[in-house]
Amino acid sequence: MDFVHLLVIPILVGTVATAQEAPVPQPTPAPTPAPAAPAQTSNYFNPSISVIGNFLAVGGTNEIENLPSASLRESELGFQAIVDPYARADFFISFSEEGANVEEGYLTFTSLPWDLLIKVGRMRTAFGKINTLHVHVWPWPDAPLPIVNLLGGEEGWSGDGVLVAKLIPLGDTFSEATLQVFRGESEGLFTAAKRSDLAFNGHYRVFRDLSDSTNLDLGLSYGFGPNGTLPDATTRLSALDATFRWKPLRTGLYRQVVLRGEFFRSSRDQAGGTESATGWFAGADYQFARRWWVGVRGEAAEHADDAAILDTGLAATLTFLPSEFSQLRSELRRRRYAGSYKANEILFQVQFAIGAHGAHPF
């Protein structure tokens, strides 16, 4: 072995040893992904929740309807959600100084044969127009006299039962017939002595656009149920309602007029015969600026159990809407009870809403 081989062999051996000792390169670890945002679908089955507050302050004197000087008159907690592809649920719970109660709670079936709509649960009766609306969407802070005297009190007529509605084609006119069957118990209006005592209501409504800026809404109602004064005694109710709206396309945010009126009739079986009483109200509301409304209302109603007692009233309102979620309203009200006692009052209302609150009937 010559001198050259003696030099080359150690070099080769050292090179192999160095290659064996060198660390094997490791791949760079991938960065940890950031937590994924919750999927939008995670809220699909959670109900929309809303809270509406209704504060009322009252000045003046009224010995017949002695409202407190200040009260959180009614707070409404609403839950609304899609149940499945065939139905939706709506629950409205009202809180007041008297406690809490379910104002409405019903399931609506929307995908039925023959284009039927069915509601099951507790709901406001489709009797007239104002009776179908919750207190916080009234155009006044108080209930008209016919609601109080002829429909059992300020809360009006509501009940537990079933509603069936059907659209009736009339060309360009919206037409709907509604039938409701309730348990025959409604405070101040109906009394059910036995299970088979039921209350019924039928309502027919037509709505038509008269022009691009005007429309007319008409309704006819008839209802009856047991009143408990005598065996088989009933109270029969009928009503006619009309609403006219003018809202020009170009200035609809700043100018608008709503004219509304309802006529009620009650026939009540009681000891001594049948008592027939009537009542009505008519009002006009004018939007003169983007957030300002002014309105007037006239009203008169006999008492359901004694038509000789007549109450009348006049009211004027001024409303300011800072946004769609709040409202300030004042009302000057003068009422004459039983044709003699006079009450002059000022009412101040503050309403506010938080959460997602679904649309009310138009």
Domain ranges of the chain: 111-355
Alpha-carbon gap, residue 307 to 286, rounded angstroms: 34
Over 60: is that where the pLDDT of 39 sits?
no
Please give the pLDDT value at position 40: 44
Please give the pLDDT value at position 358: 62
Write down the pTM of the prediction. Answer: 0.83
Alpha-carbon gap, residue 203 to 180, rounded angstroms: 9
Burial class for 273, CB neighbours closer than 10 Å (0-12, 13-18, 19+): exposed
Are the beta carbons of 314 and 277 closer than 8 angstroms?
no
Q: What is the pLDDT of residues 129-183, one digit of tens each?
A: 999 999 889 999 999 999 999 999 888 999 999 999 999 989 899 999 999 999 9
Closest of 264, 266, 124, 262 to residue 189, by C-alpha: 266
| Alpha-carbon dihedral 138, 143, 146, 147, rounded to 10 degrees | 80
- Mean pLDDT (the chain) is 87
Q: What is the pLDDT of residues 254-305, one digit of tens each?
A: 899 999 999 999 999 999 899 999 999 999 999 999 999 999 999 999 999 9
Please give the pLDDT value at position 16: 38
Q: Say which CATH class 111-355 falls into.
A: mainly beta
In three-state form (DSSP H/G/I as H, E/B as E, the rest C), the secondary structure along the chain is CCHHHHHHHHHHHHHHHHHHHCCCCCCCCCCCCCCCCCCHHHHCCCCEEEEEEEEEEEEECCCCCCCCCEEEEEEEEEEEEEEECCEEEEEEEEEECCEEEEEEEEEEECCCHHHEEEEEEEEECCCCCHHHCCHHHCCCCCCCHHHHHHCCCCCCCEEEEEEEEEECCECCEEEEEEEEEEECCECCCECCCCCCCEEEEEEEEEEEECCCCEEEEEEEEEEEEECCCCCCCEEEEEEEEEEEEECCCCCCCCCEEEEEEEEEEEEEEECCEEEEEEEEEEEEEEEEECCEEEEEEEEEEEECCEEEEEEEEEEEEEEEEEECCEEEEEEEEEEEECCCEEEEEEEEEEEEEEECCCCCCC
Is beta strand 174-183 parallel, antiparallel or unpaired with respect to 273-289? unpaired
Alpha-carbon gap, residue 358 to 184, rounded angstroms: 29
Closest of 205, 157, 203 to residue 178, by C-alpha: 203
Q: What is the pLDDT of residues 229-262, one digit of tens each?
A: 999 999 999 999 999 999 998 776 889 999 999 9
Closest of 284, 286, 283 to residue 256, by C-alpha: 286
Please give the pLDDT value at position 349: 97
Other beta carbons within 10 Å of 240 = 15
Other beta carbons within 10 Å of 210 = 11
Please give the pLDDT value at position 44: 60
Alpha-carbon gap, residue 119 to 178, rounded angstroms: 11
Range of lowest pLDDT (35-44, 131-140, 170-179, 323-332):
35-44
What residue type is 198 in one-letter code?
A: L
pLDDT range class, residue 29, cuts 50, 70, 90: low
Closest of 221, 292, 215 to residue 260, by C-alpha: 215
Q: Which long-range contacts (CB under 8 A, 24 or more apart) does 11-17 make?
A: none
